[in-house]
Amino acid sequence: MEPPPPPEPPKPRPSPAGRLLNVLSGLGLATILLVLLGLLTWLATLEQIDSGLHHTLRKYFDWRAWYLLPELGGKTVPLPLPGGYWVCALLALNLTLGGLLRWRRDWQRVGVLVAHLGIIYLLVAGAVAHHFSQRGHMLIAEGAASNAAEDYFEHVVEVAEAKDGKPAAIQVIGGKYLTDLEGSASRRVRLPALPFDLELSGYIPNAEVKSAAEHAPPAGVPVIDGYYLAPKPAEINTEANTPACVARIIARDGSQAAPFLLSSTARQPFSVRHHGRVFTILLRKRLWLMPFTVRLDKFTAEFYPGTMKPSKFVSKITRSENGSDAKAIIQMNEPMRYANLTFYQASYQQLGQGPAARMASVFEVVRNPADQWPQYSLYVVALGLLVHFITKLAGFIMARSRPTPHV
Amino acid sequence: MNRRIAIYLSLGLVGLVGCHEKNDVTVNETRAVSTRDGPFKEFATSDERFGNARPSPVTGETPPGWSVQPGNEFRLLNYRFGPDGSGEVWVSAASGTLADNVNRWLRQFGAQPLDDAGLQALRRVAILGGSGVWVQAEGAYAAGMGAEPRAGYGLAGVITEVQGQILTVKMVGPAAVVKADSPALEAFVKTLRLADPAE
C-alpha cells in the first residue's frame, strides 16, 4: 500500500507589493475603470450643455483634474468622481501590467496581446494629444490670404515697435503671466529687448470696457482716461470671453507712466512714444504662424433644402511656400494635412452686407503629433482580434478534424 | 520618521510654490509679423479704442465751441458746450408720438403739457428735409431716473418724425448757457442728415 501523498505546502501569501500589483493588473480594476469612463463621458456630455465644451473638457479630462463633482441642471451632484485623464492613465497601466504579467506564454493568445497593445496605443495617443497638440482657427475671406491661425483660448499681451504704421519686432507676453492677476495681484514683466518693462494687473477673464461718462463706475473701480473695466459672467463658449487688464510702462530708470487699459475688444492698440520710438501694446488671442500662406480662391456652401443646415462646405485654396504654389481642396470630413498641420473645414462667415459682402471660410488648424495614432491603434486592435479569431477558428477546426477515439 | 515627514512636506510646499508664476518675470518670446498684423492708428485715443463703434445713423456739422462726446445706445450724437462744458446736446431716436415727447420734455421742467392746439402753435424749424417742432422751457430740470432737479436750467430742442421714427435734438444746461447757444442749435439742426446705409 502506497503511503498517501504529502499535503501540498500552503501557497505563500503575496507581499503587499505583489497584492498591489495583482489589483493594478486585475480584470476587476479594468471593469471599474471602463464603467467610470462611460459614466464620466455621459455626465460630461450632459454638463457641457450648460457649462460649455471647453470648461467641461477641462473639468472632466484635464490632467490637473484629480477629482470632480458633476453638475446636472446647474446643481452639484455630491458624488466625487476621479478625473478622466487619470482614469485613462490607470487603465493604460492596468492593460500594460495585465498584458505583461497575466499573459500566459501561449501563442494562441497572441492576438489578445496585440489587441491590448492597440488599446494602450490609443490611450497614449490621447495623452500625447492632450499635452502636445495645438489648436486654433484661421478665417480667410475669398481672395485673401493668411499665414496665421488664432488660438481659441489663450490671450497674450503683444508689445511691438511701430515702423511705417505697422508693427515690427513683436514681443509676446504669454497668457500664463496674465490669468493669475485677478484682484489686486500685479506682475512686473521685464522685456530685455525693449527700452521699458510692463506692469500688468487687474486681469478680468471676461470684461466690458465701459465709459464712465455713460455708466457710473462702482465704488473703488479705477477709471482710466474715462473708461473702466466691468466684469461679465463667463461665456458658455469660452472662446467668446473678452478679457482685459490694466497695464503700466516702467522705464529703465524706474519711473512709471500712467496706467492704461488693455482689452481684447479694443479696436486700436495702445501707442506710446518712448525716447523717440513708437511702441504699440495690445491684448489679443495668441497668433500662431504657419510655415506657409493659405489663399482662399473660392468658397461654396450647400445647405439641405429649406434649412440652414449645411450639407457641404468646400474651400478651394492655394498654399504658397518658398515661392511655389499648390492647389488644394478642404471640405467637411476631408481635411488638408501638410507640414504636420491639419486644416479642417470648420465653418464660414459672411463679411459685410449688401453687394460688397464677401464669404469667408473658417478653418480649424491643428498641430497634433498623435494626429493619426488613433487610426493606427484601431488597425492594431483589428489586427489583434483578427489573429485571435483566426487562431480560435483554426483550433476549433483542427479539434473537429481529429479522429474521435471509439470506445 | 518625523524627519522624513518634514522632508516630504517641504518638497510638497516647494512644488506648490513652483506652480505659481513669479511676480517679476523676464520675457523674451517673440513672433514674426504675420498677415494679421495690418496697419493701425498710432496714438488712438481711449474713445477711438473703446468708444461706441456703431456709426450713428445721423450726422451733423459740429458748431464752433461744441465738443464731440462719445455716443451711446441712447445718444446717436452727443456734444457738450458752454464756458464750463455744463451744457449738453444730444440726438436720440425715441419711442411714442411727437406729442408724447414734447410733453415728456415739458414735464421734466415742471411745465404744463400741451394739447393739440398748443402743439400746433409751436414754432416749426427745418430738419432732415422736413420740419420739426421747436420746444423750449426753463425751470428746475428733473432728468428722471431719480435725479435731483437742477434749478435754473433751460431746454431748447427739436422733435420731428423721420421715416416713421421720432428723432429728438435736445439741448439742456444752465438757462443762460442754453439761451446763448440756441441759435447754434438751430443752425446745427439744419446740418443734420441721415447717413447713407451703404457707407
Assembly ipTM: 0.76
Question: At residue A313, does pLDDT exceed 90?
Answer: no
Distance CA A50, CA A52 (A): 6
Average pLDDT, integer, range A13-30 = 87
The least confident of A213-227, A346-360, B50-64, B133-147 is: A346-360
The whole-angstrom distance between residue A343's C-alpha and the CA centroid of its chain comes to 15
Residue A221's CB is within 10 A of a number of other CB atoms, namely 15
Q: Where are the domains of chain B?
A: 58-194
Q: Which of B25, B37, B50 sits opposite A167 (nearest CB)?
A: B37
Residue type, A302: E
By percentage, how much of chain A surpasses pLDDT 90? 60
CA-based angle B162:B168:B169, to the nearest 5?
A: 120
Distance CA A73, CA A77 (A): 10
A167·B40 Cβ contact <8 A: yes
Q: Which of B39, B49, B69 sits opposite A166 (nearest CB)?
A: B39
Residue B49, C-alpha cell as written in the block: 479704442
- Is the CB of A180 inside 8 Å of chain B's CB atoms? yes
B40·A165 Cβ contact <8 A: yes
A176·B21 Cβ contact <8 A: yes
Amino acid B163: pLDDT: 80
- Is the CB of B19 inside 8 Å of chain A's CB atoms? no
Tell me how close the Cα of B119 comes to any Cα of chain A, in angstroms: 32
Q: List beta partners, residue A256.
A: A250
Question: At residue A41, does pLDDT exceed 70?
Answer: yes
Amino acid A303: pLDDT: 78
For residue range B42-94, what is the model confidence (pLDDT) as tens digits?
Answer: 899 888 898 765 667 788 888 988 888 767 767 888 888 988 888 999 999 88
A227·B28 Cβ contact <8 A: no
CB of A151 closer than 8 Å to CB of A284: no
Amino acid A262: pLDDT: 96
Q: Which of B28, B31, B46 sits opposite A226 (nearest CB)?
A: B46
B44·A280 Cβ contact <8 A: no
Give the number of beta-carbon pairs within 8 Å between A and B: 126
Q: What is the mean pLDDT of chain B?
A: 84
Distance CA B178, CA B182 (A): 6
- Is the CB of A213 inside 8 Å of chain B's CB atoms? yes
Q: What is the mean pLDDT of chain A?
A: 89
B30·A193 Cβ contact <8 A: yes
- Is the CB of A141 inside 8 Å of chain B's CB atoms? no
Q: Which of A191, A278, A289 sits opposite B42 (nearest CB)?
A: A278
Amino acid B199: pLDDT: 44
Residue type, A188: R
Start-to-end CA span in chain A (Å): 31
Distance CA A285, CA A136 (A): 10
Tell me how close the Cα of B41 comes to any Cα of chain A, in angstroms: 7
Question: At residue B17, does pLDDT exceed 60?
Answer: no
Residues 6 or more apart whose CB falls under 8 angstroms from that of B198 comprise A354
Question: At residue A367, does pLDDT exceed 70?
Answer: yes
A150·B36 Cβ contact <8 A: yes
Radius of gyration of chain A (CA): 30
Residue A201 vs residues A5, A43, B132: alpha-carbon distances, Å:
83, 37, 51
Question: At residue B4, does pLDDT exceed 70?
Answer: no
Question: At residue A52, does pLDDT exceed 90?
Answer: no
Closest CA to B28 of A219, A224, A173, A275: A173
Question: At residue A295, does pLDDT exceed 90?
Answer: yes
Q: Which of A145, A162, A187 sits opposite B35 (nearest CB)?
A: A145
Residue A296's CB is within 10 A of a number of other CB atoms, namely 24
B27·A267 Cβ contact <8 A: no
The CATH label, of 2.60.120.1690, 2.40.160.20, 3.40.50.300, 1.10.15.40, for the domain at B58-194 is 2.60.120.1690
